[in-house]
A and B are shown apart, each in its own frame.
Chain A
């Protein structure tokens, strides 16, 4: 089939769950998983992961740094159902029960690029995801859930990656998580999907002026 061209395109994502800002909470850990459509299949790497528990930094930033790497490769035939990364952050409450501190979701960047700054162009896929948690349905529920350490949670964290049925829930925002992505795609253009920025290097890239001494 080499002559006929590729039949799938590949999407390699690496990066990291860098840090989080949860002003009120400490000792958090984070879980991530990918949600993707039916035409997608992971070919390599970890689809899910749980990070270490991190404590707040002692400086003014109060940052919760995980630096938890993500590395996964997908193959797909269809951009429909582009992978999304679902994050859920947990941490202990006052009674020491592990409770949910935030759910969040972000699409894997569509365009290839890395966080590094290459010559002129910087494709920095840095995402700051706002996090949220489901709210209790009533004040009493809220109290009991707090008291018993059983906060309302999504039946499945992947719910946050789907739009269906969200109207029945109420959530509260808390905190942010910062993600870094490096994205490499293969054969997307061959299959007719153009996601990247205009490829200035290949076609119209200004060649470095030759006369100038470096």
Chain B
């Protein structure tokens, strides 16, 4: 067989299935029977073949199924898919059917079919699922098992023959239907197809059509046949028909199965067919597919009702559930359709009722009624912790990625839109001019008419009169009701009151109604009047300009009813009025009555009085006085007139006639239409034509201004003849900011000439609820004040014109119009309105705030201010019913009602309490916390406190003692330590200044520069590069090696013991030598020696004493050096002679305070290095001379010769100290004298030829070298001129560039922390008069005295107190008040004194030993320069090699600064001639002249004389304290005081003061020897400025006088204080030990 046959087979199977599907078993068996009877099996074969062929043809049609696709969906669900059963063996192949057989079969089938149809339909009332299958679906295998009766079928399937026959039979049925004679033989596929299709008679068997089918119940065959005949289906649609055909097969099957009982009446008939169109039409009738389109609002609402948006009216509407728009639309459509449709047949006329019925589903706003969304965005139910579960598991923390919190008010931004993507849609639909210069008179009238008509419409819309009438009616009814006593259970009183209220309301309402009615009527009248005017005008000018036409429609009224109503109304009114009047009358009557009564009583009284008068005046003489109405007679009251009903009626009727439609008069309804025709141009007069042309030339456009910026403009549109312009443009403004103003500008263009701005229209900013699609078109009026006069018919603008011929009744109209527009917020893609967040807008936009979040609009702080909040709530019209606002409202309610206490303070951190680590009390109580806090505050005492203990109990109370003491002392001035109160105050003040500076410094310390953190090589310049290249060629081992710099160590990673102080003591000069004490009188008193004599005399002093008879005095002196630092003491070996050379290196360990080696800590180290020079003296203590041969018994004594004190800070900052220092020796060293022979003549100085004192050469450094701290980079504010400050910076930069190591000062910081130009400090200031008077004729002596005075002011180094950082410069008066200062203050004061003495003096900034950078004073004597050390009072010549000043950076005068630009900076090698610009670079020069800066110094210094008594007292106290101290220092020995010696010394001290410590030695010694001849005496006077007691004690201690432990030693101590003006005290302490000589 060929493939065709295969297909045939398949189709056959399908047919079998169909049968199985459709039929129940019994049908089949019957069918089998029938077949047996009617037809022979083998005959069916060829017939089958044909039909199958036709099917094949169908299948082969391309796109066969597609046209059916449309029609199918309806029936699809009910269809069953085909199934493929195992092929039934080859019944189809058996043979060809005879055609003759077909004829017979046809008749029978037709009959049976009609019958079957009816039977089937009766049997199965429910829609029978159709078994339609398309050929393409054949392969699908579906629900075989679900098929009812499927099992039976399968059993039957086994019976092949049965199936066969059935198939054949069916095929034959189909063949019978064919009308065309079939050619004998095997038909071609096409033929078969055509044949098949032509014979097909469709039968509409749609399940949906069942009702219809039902109607045709028991339908006659004719009908079906008729349909058959109608349906010779054209070729074009037979593809669709194919489907129908298959349907029909089913039907046939039913039919076949059903008519089992009535085989005989089987009628073969073509299936009914209904064309697709018809079917669709029928479907349309029956089916309703709700539209997805939006239902227009008017449909959902009763007629003439505007949608109400309750939300806009301020009522709370909850958030609706989100329903997709389409679903909503479908639902709305369905609701609207549903009820009317179902009820249509019953009540065809009641359609509106039905509509209303459907509308009850809609709210006032035209949307489906919906409950607010009940879903909360957050779960409110707490987590249920089940008991069984392990709590641990419940508490297990889960990591969740942090989610950025988006504030509610910002959700528009957060939703993915970039911020600022907001959109405002401005829809400009059009423009109407209500007046325009080109208006003709008729236009004016037309505009008026239109306006009136609009007004009329508006009034009618509101229909206030009707409303009031209804109200009146209702009120009257209420009155009636309440008047009926049966129905009012309330008390009589309340009813009466209610009635009274009603009545007054009735009156009110009536009045209002009358007014409204009258207005309506006058409006109507005016409209008619204007229309008449217009008509007359049209007639007069014989042309028509406007299409306006007014039609007055008369509405007939039922005359009788109307009259009745009218009359009733009038009557009611009359009765009411009457009642009213009656009440009034009664009231008046009452009044009258009471008045009348009174009057009567009075009369009576009057009468009785008269009687009494007559009867007995003597009896009641006073009665007359008691008369109530003695003076006046009451007027007899007039009774009120009763109201006249007729009058009232008259009035009422008049009023009614005036304001109301007369009864029977038809109701006039004006209707304005544009139906009229406008006279064409050619029929108009010329002026009118001109006008029209002018209008045509005009065009209008609008500019849109957003926030006063033009953002867009409309197209220019010509002005229509009706003065309307249609734009219809929508502008989408993408905005960033909240709009502040929205303006439209109306521009008019006339022809090609320029445009004129007609008017500006201000649009309101839409509320946030107004979004696109919801915004109604609004008309905004505008008007312009332009004056236009036209030479044509146009009336112009701002120009008076008249309608009358005589020009009376003038009218002036301005250009005006209306812009119809709508402004709304756009809606984004996801339905979010593109409205800027509310935070952007001002509070001023109240309306927009309506829906705002309270917090976002007023800020969090506003929440605490209840008044503000309440105000805001009131302003923003917060919806009190919104549950969202409930807490807020309650809060406001509570707050404003004043029931709760609202604090008027603002608490910054309300929750601080909760977040506190511990309570404040505990924090304060706990020592540990306190310690921790103090440390973190960097309080000096605790700054580096280590290992704060864990427990409070481990913290000693004494830890805080120092700190607490300091805190206490801050306020309390303690006078115990400070004997002098003044000094105590000063000390306190200084302390405070120091603290403030330190705090400042601590803050500054936390500012870092790159250089602090990163070491970076500087970019080398050419010279360095060159040097490097040169270095490459350098010898490896040069003959003259250079010292290489040591590596510097940063201080941080050091610990105790790492740092050592290296003191290299090289040699000393001019050590005092011992002096034998043999002769009592060596020299005559030399009180009157001159300077030169001193020099000459001195060599002689010693000569006789050389041969000392001292036992061990082979050497003049045996000095050694002892270095003490931080309680560590080292000493050198003992050398011989007055110029010893030790050359020894001493190593002292350095410990930083608290083990903190940070820069700041090191900077604040206050320790000094003491270098003491002692003379080692051996005393023979052998008592017995006989023992001398066998033993040596000596005692070593050390005699203090002098000391050098170098602060550690100096070493730290200088890194090394190398030089020769003057040893600080006491002015008088008993037992010692200077060996003068060594002293070289230093002839440069005429005054001081002698080397004063001894010198020691030292080299001190630290190992390893520490990096000194940087100075604070803090910019202080200044009152200096900005230019000057810039100049100083420039100057300093230039100087630093040339000589980076030289000190250059231009500005300094004064005590208040301000930058001050340095020259302001220099100004001649008067020294104390006392000093000037001392040596009136000797300027040199005066100068020395002044220097001494200055040096007596205590020295307080800034570098120690202020951590070496910022130098505070105090002015001289401050300095004198404070009585403390460092080099600069001393130098400034000295320089000022010198200036006042008429010297040429400069401040000299430079480096000195050991101070480091310091300030000296340079003076110019006649021919030479003197360098003054202001702190010691000493002065040096320029070429003095022992001058401690080693380099000079700059000189500062009162009016200029000179920077040293010479090659050398040593004072020995430089020229001090500042006039030479090559040597000295001056700050102020010709280019920058000295601006004449005022001085910061006072005009004059005022000196108070120091209280001598106080000084004496202080002197005694010091002496006492020192004596006690010495006794304390000798705890194991008895300390005896030699009173005689003490008094001698006390007398001697003033002498020393007078001579300034010079030249008294010999006299003194002589004196002492005279008095204490038999004592060995060693001691010395100490001299120092007085600042505090402590340094004095230290000084006494350092001499070591108390160390003598000879048993019979005696001590002597004397103190003398010489007061200088201004409380400057010079303290002398003479301390001595005496050993009695045997």
Contact A4–B1014 (Cβ < 8 Å):
no
Q: Cβ of B1009 < 8 Å from any Cβ of A?
A: yes
- Interface-located stretch among A14-22, A61-69, A108-116, A141-149: A141-149
Query: Interface residues of B, CB < 8 Å — how many?
Result: 29
Contact A77–B948 (Cβ < 8 Å):
yes
Contact (A78, B1012) CB under 8 Å given A4-B951, A144-B1019, A191-B950: no
Contact B950–A169 (Cβ < 8 Å):
no
Query: Nearest chain-A residue to B943 (Cβ)?
Result: A38
List chain A residues, Cβ under 8 A from B1015: 152-155
Contact A164–B1019 (Cβ < 8 Å):
no
Q: When chains A and B are docked, how far (Å) is the Cα of A158 from the Cα of B1007?
A: 17
Q: When chains A and B are docked, how far (Å) is the Cα of A137 from the Cα of B1018?
A: 10
Q: When chains A and B are docked, how far (Å) is the Cα of A164 from the Cα of B1007?
A: 8
Q: Cβ of B866 < 8 Å from any Cβ of A?
A: no
Contact B1017–A168 (Cβ < 8 Å):
no
Partner of B947, one of A38, A152, A167: A38
Binary A-proximity of B1505-1523 (CB < 8 A = 1, otherwise 0)? 0000000000000000000
Q: Cβ of A134 < 8 Å from any Cβ of B?
A: yes
Contact B1019–A141 (Cβ < 8 Å):
yes
List chain A residues, Cβ under 8 A from B278: none
Q: When chains A and B are docked, how far (Å) is the Cα of A41 from the Cα of B1251?
A: 56
Contact B1014–A154 (Cβ < 8 Å):
yes
Q: When chains A and B are docked, how far (Å) is the Cα of A154 from the Cα of B1010?
A: 10
Contact A77–B949 (Cβ < 8 Å):
yes
Contact B1010–A168 (Cβ < 8 Å):
yes
Query: Nearest chain-A residue to B1008 (Cβ)?
Result: A165
Query: Nearest chain-B residue to A192 (Cβ)?
Result: B950
Contact B947–A155 (Cβ < 8 Å):
no
Contact A159–B946 (Cβ < 8 Å):
no
Contact A141–B1016 (Cβ < 8 Å):
yes
List chain B residues, Cβ under 8 A from A191: 950
Contact B1014–A38 (Cβ < 8 Å):
no
List chain B residues, Cβ under 8 A from A165: 1006-1008, 1012-1013
Contact (A41, B1019) CB under 8 Å given A164-B1008, A168-B1008: no
List chain B residues, Cβ under 8 A from A80: 932
List chain A residues, Cβ under 8 A from B1009: 168
List chain A residues, Cβ under 8 A from B946: 38-39, 41
Q: Cβ of A150 < 8 Å from any Cβ of B?
A: yes
List chain A residues, Cβ under 8 A from B1016: 134, 136-137, 141, 145, 152-153
Contact (A164, B947) CB under 8 Å given A148-B1017, A153-B1015, A155-B1015: no
Binary B-proximity of A28-59 (CB < 8 A = 1, otherwise 0)? 00000000001111000000000000000000
Q: Cβ of B661 < 8 Å from any Cβ of A?
A: no
Q: Cβ of B1020 < 8 Å from any Cβ of A?
A: yes
List chain A residues, Cβ under 8 A from B949: 7, 77
Contact A169–B1013 (Cβ < 8 Å):
yes
Contact B1014–A155 (Cβ < 8 Å):
yes
Contact B954–A169 (Cβ < 8 Å):
no
Contact B1050–A7 (Cβ < 8 Å):
no
Distance in Å: Cβ of B323 to nearest Cβ of chain A: 50
Q: When chains A and B are docked, how far (Å) is the Cα of A51 from the Cα of B1007?
A: 34
Distance in Å: Cβ of B1032 to nearest Cβ of chain A: 14
Q: When chains A and B are docked, how far (Å) is the Cα of A178 from the Cα of B1017?
A: 31
List chain B residues, Cβ under 8 A from A2: none
Contact B1014–A134 (Cβ < 8 Å):
yes
Within 8 A of A (CB), among B1379-1431: none
Q: Cβ of A189 < 8 Å from any Cβ of B?
A: no
Contact (A140, B1050) CB under 8 Å given A38-B944, A168-B1013: no
Q: Cβ of B1052 < 8 Å from any Cβ of A?
A: yes
Contact A77–B1050 (Cβ < 8 Å):
no
List chain B residues, Cβ under 8 A from A148: 1017, 1020
Distance in Å: Cβ of A61 to nearest Cβ of chain B: 31
Contact A77–B947 (Cβ < 8 Å):
yes
Contact (A156, B1017) CB under 8 Å given A78-B932, A165-B1012, A168-B1008: no
The secondary-structure label for the interface of chain B is loop
Q: Cβ of B958 < 8 Å from any Cβ of A?
A: no
Q: Cβ of A94 < 8 Å from any Cβ of B?
A: no
Contact B1014–A76 (Cβ < 8 Å):
no
List chain A residues, Cβ under 8 A from B1019: 138, 140-141, 144
Q: When chains A and B are docked, how far (Å) is the Cα of A38 from the Cα of B1009?
A: 25
Q: Cβ of B1107 < 8 Å from any Cβ of A?
A: no
Q: When chains A and B are docked, how far (Å) is the Cα of A53 from the Cα of B951?
A: 46
Distance in Å: Cβ of A72 to nearest Cβ of chain B: 16
Within 8 A of A (CB), among B995-1024: 1006-1010, 1012-1017, 1019-1020
Q: When chains A and B are docked, how far (Å) is the Cα of A86 from the Cα of B1007?
A: 23
List chain B residues, Cβ under 8 A from A167: 1008
Q: When chains A and B are docked, how far (Å) is the Cα of A207 from the Cα of B1475?
A: 99
Contact A38–B945 (Cβ < 8 Å):
yes
Q: Cβ of A186 < 8 Å from any Cβ of B?
A: no
Q: Cβ of B392 < 8 Å from any Cβ of A?
A: yes
Contact (A152, B1014) CB under 8 Å given A141-B1019, A165-B1008, A204-B392: yes
Looking at A38, A76, A141, A191, the one whose CB has the most chain B CB atoms below 10 A away is A38
Contact (A169, B1017) CB under 8 Å given A38-B947, A39-B947: no
List chain B residues, Cβ under 8 A from A145: 1016-1017
Contact (A77, B1013) CB under 8 Å given A38-B944, A140-B1019: no
Q: When chains A and B are docked, how far (Å) is the Cα of A167 from the Cα of B1013?
A: 10
List chain A residues, Cβ under 8 A from B1052: 156, 158
Q: Cβ of B1053 < 8 Å from any Cβ of A?
A: yes
Q: Cβ of B935 < 8 Å from any Cβ of A?
A: yes
List chain A residues, Cβ under 8 A from B1013: 134, 154-155, 159, 165-166, 168-169
Contact (A77, B1012) CB under 8 Å given A155-B1050, A164-B1006: no
Q: When chains A and B are docked, how far (Å) is the Cα of A20 from the Cα of B1014?
A: 24
Q: Cβ of A129 < 8 Å from any Cβ of B?
A: no
List chain A residues, Cβ under 8 A from B932: 78, 80
Contact B1010–A41 (Cβ < 8 Å):
no
List chain A residues, Cβ under 8 A from B951: 4, 7
Distance in Å: Cβ of A31 to nearest Cβ of chain B: 12
Partner of B950, one of A8, A141, A198: A8
Within 8 A of A (CB), among B302-344: none
Contact A150–B1017 (Cβ < 8 Å):
yes
Distance in Å: Cβ of B1051 to nearest Cβ of chain A: 10
Q: When chains A and B are docked, how far (Å) is the Cα of A76 from the Cα of B1209?
A: 33
Contact A78–B1014 (Cβ < 8 Å):
no
Contact (A78, B948) CB under 8 Å given A164-B1008, A165-B1012: yes
List chain A residues, Cβ under 8 A from B1012: 155, 165, 168
Query: Nearest chain-B residue to A80 (Cβ)?
Result: B932
Q: When chains A and B are docked, how far (Å) is the Cα of A153 from the Cα of B1050?
A: 14
Distance in Å: Cβ of B1405 to nearest Cβ of chain A: 30
Within 8 A of A (CB), among B924-958: 932, 935, 944-951, 953-954
Q: When chains A and B are docked, how far (Å) is the Cα of A155 from the Cα of B1009?
A: 12
List chain B residues, Cβ under 8 A from A41: 946-947
List chain B residues, Cβ under 8 A from A155: 1012-1015, 1050
Q: When chains A and B are docked, how far (Å) is the Cα of A198 from the Cα of B1008?
A: 42
Q: When chains A and B are docked, how far (Å) is the Cα of A156 from the Cα of B1011?
A: 11
List chain B residues, Cβ under 8 A from A154: 1013-1015
**In the complex, given contacts A141-B1017, A153-B1016, A156-B1053, what are 16 additional A-B residue pairs having Cβ atoms less than 8 angstroms apart?**
A7-B949, A8-B950, A38-B948, A77-B949, A80-B932, A145-B1016, A152-B1014, A152-B1015, A155-B1015, A155-B1050, A156-B1052, A164-B1008, A165-B1006, A167-B1008, A169-B1014, A198-B392
A and B contact pairs by CB, cutoff 8 A, 30 listed: A7-B949, A8-B947, A8-B950, A38-B947, A39-B946, A39-B948, A40-B947, A41-B946, A77-B949, A77-B950, A80-B932, A134-B1013, A134-B1014, A136-B1016, A145-B1016, A148-B1017, A154-B1013, A154-B1014, A154-B1015, A155-B1012, A155-B1013, A155-B1014, A156-B1052, A158-B1053, A159-B1013, A164-B1008, A167-B1008, A168-B1008, A168-B1010, A168-B1012
Which 3 A-B residue pairings sit nearest by Cβ, starting from the closest? A165-B1008, A152-B1016, A150-B1017
